[in-house]
Amino acid sequence: MHSNLPSGINQQWLASEAGPAIEVLVIKNSWCDAVIACQGAQVLHYQPKQKLPILWLSDTNQFQRGKAIRGGIPLCFPWFGKHPHQPDLPSHGFARQMEWQLQQASENIQGHHLSFVLKDNAATRLLWDYGFEATMDIHLGNQLEINFQVHNTDCQPFEFGFAWHSYFAIQDINQTQVHGLEQLAFLDQLSPDGGYSHVETQPIRFSSETDRIYQQAGGHYEISSGQESPIYIDAPECSSVVVWNPWAEKAHRLGDIPGDSWKHMLCVECGKLDKANVLLEPGQTVSYQLVLSR
């Protein structure tokens, strides 16, 4: 239980038939409404006042503790996708499936600020045997600001990758464009030829399953969809971007993207992954920022 939470933050529990409930914090202020799960320090909902929600969340989540939540902004850390050497380890690392500790919560005229921390423990050491301290600072105001910081508390250097696997709420994938990645080489993970040989000269449009990795991204993007107001994404320190939509067949196989809801979600995932992984020396700290707005 969290004591002395500022006004506008309420603690709730998302019940699961499969085990213990997941704790969430429900935030309401003059600027926005939001929900954050303490598991993964994961923002599940963010809606600026008088505007449409920015994030998509699956209606079929079971909210089972220790299982990844489909939607919102999961953090993939300390690796993205399959582990490069041990494919039996959890996909996208362990940070999104572990309980983060709320260190601080405050409110001012600009909104609410919450700070979560995840430190190495027996469970993380079984998967990744390094000492670390990860911090997620989340500001909820007229825009959503997330600062992710990693500190190496070990006596040896380590390499990590990460991405905010953000699920954005859109009107219709068939009427959606992503601006800001024009003229950049990308890896089409669905193409048999592989390699960063593909280049898009126009804003990205969607007509089938899409899974692209950009490694020289500029950090500023816009999602436009139908008549809805655009979503703006700023992640200036993140040179890697993944653009993903599963389309109908894969959404059905995944099992937790029900019906045609795949038409109303799009992932634009900012981070540092693969060739852009980060090498952090003992005692060093590195930080990254993600800002979302409409």
**Those residues with Cβ within 8 angstroms of residue 108's Cβ, 6 or more apart along the chain or in another chain:** none
Q: What is the dihedral of CA 82, 123, 163, 190, to 10 degrees?
A: 10
Region of 111 please: left (phi>0), alpha (psi -120 to 50) or beta: left
The kind and range of the H/E element at 152 are strand 144-152
What angle (nearest 5°) sits at the alpha carbon of residue 215, between those of residues 211 and 218?
110
In this prediction the pTM is 0.97
The domain locations on the chain are 11-293
The yes or no reply on domain 11-293 and CATH 3.90.1300.10 is: no
The residue count of the chain comes to: 294
Is 145 part of the annotated catalytic residue set? no
User: Contact, 199 vs 183, CB < 8 A?
Assistant: yes
Q: What is the pLDDT along the chain (294 residues), one digit of tens a residue?
A: 676 899 999 999 988 777 788 999 999 999 999 999 999 999 999 999 999 999 999 999 989 999 999 999 999 999 999 998 898 999 999 999 999 999 999 999 999 999 999 999 999 999 999 999 999 999 999 999 999 999 999 999 999 999 999 999 999 999 999 999 999 999 999 988 777 778 989 999 999 999 999 999 999 999 999 889 999 999 999 999 999 999 999 999 999 999 999 999 999 999 999 989 999 999 999 999 999 999
Is 17 part of the annotated catalytic residue set? no
Catalytic residue among 165, 237, 252, 281: 165
Catalytic residue among 112, 139, 200, 269: 269
